[in-house]
Amino acid sequence: MTKSERTGMISRRNLILRAGAGMLAASIAPALLQAQAANAEPISDLTPTDITPEGALKKLMEGNQRYIEQKRTFPDQARSRIVEVAQGQHPFATILACSDSRVAPEIIFDQGLGDLFDIRVAGNFLDDVVLGNIEYATLELGVPLLVILGHERCGAVKAALDGKAVPGHISTLVAAIKPAVDTTKNQGGDAWDNAVRANVKMNVNKLQSSSPILAEAVKAGKLKLVGGRYDLDSGKVEIIA
């Protein structure tokens, strides 16, 4: 046998051995990963949030400022965060916002997965279902901040302001917002924006009277409740209640 033939045989043998080793590693790797996950230390961030209500509002507004200045950091959006929040959620703020596609809380506040407990309904108004969601976030998740967020040129508020007949279940939205609109009839300035602001303030006031659970949380200093208005043109969130 020539040297070149022997070299060829060794090369083929090495190739077979390496291929077998690769297959073995591929079969073992998933099992090792599962074992490591089972024995891993719990992630420290999965404990209930210890951020104060005031600290939560500060964090939220700092995120909005980054959004306005186009200096977003896109926090809590890495693969590691997906794995982390799969084990539990501990958001630091509940946001009752309008369903409007231009008012996405995680974007306008520059937050990520597991940071915000979102409740969205056209006109950002309260009903029993919304209240149940808020009470769950407050009692079960320990969320220290609740923001009722209206926005400039809200279509649901405009429908209530116009007072025209609307089809289907849209009338439910209009009926819920109309009491706020009625309080602004004698105000000067922009009637539409007056109604948007009044709707936010009405629901902030209504929330505590409608839910003894939330009223007690506010009284105990465990929950901070504020109302805000999002400006579609500037991107700024203004605290108005």
Give the single-character DSSP code of 190: -
**pLDDT of 99 higher than 90:** yes
Which percentage of the chain shows pLDDT scores above 70? 80
Average pLDDT, the chain: 86
User: pLDDT-based confidence at 49, cuts 50/70/90?
Assistant: low
- The predicted model scores a pTM of 0.80
Query: Among candidates 36, 45, 138, which has minimal Cα distance to 96?
Result: 138
**pLDDT of 83 higher than 60:** yes
Q: Where are the domains of the chain?
A: 1-40, 45-239
d(CA 229, CA 127): 20
Q: What pLDDT score was predicted for residue 195?
A: 98
Q: What pLDDT score was predicted for residue 38?
A: 38
Q: What pLDDT score was predicted for residue 48?
A: 54
**Complete DSSP assignment for 193-230:** HHHHHHHHHHHHHHHHHH-HHHHHHHHTTS-EEEEEEE
**Contact partners, residue 11, CB within 8 Å, separation at least 6:** none
Greater model confidence, 211 or 20: 211
Model confidence pLDDT, tens digit, residues 156-211:
999 999 999 999 999 999 999 999 999 999 999 999 999 999 999 999 999 989 99
Classify burial at 130, counting beta carbons within 10 Å of its beta carbon; exposed 0-12, middle 13-18, buried 19 or more.
buried
Q: What pLDDT score was predicted for residue 29?
A: 39
Q: What pLDDT score was predicted for residue 50?
A: 86
If you compute the radius of gyration of the chain from its CA atoms, what whole number of angstroms results? Answer: 27
Q: HSE of 103 in the Cβ direction (CA atoms, 13 Å)?
A: 28
Helix (H) or strand (E) holding 237: strand 237-239
Classify burial at 200, counting beta carbons within 10 Å of its beta carbon; exposed 0-12, middle 13-18, buried 19 or more.
buried
Could you please state the CATH topology (level 3) that the domain comprising 45-239 is classified under. Answer: Beta-carbonic Anhydrase; Chain A (3.40.1050)
d(CA 136, CA 142): 9
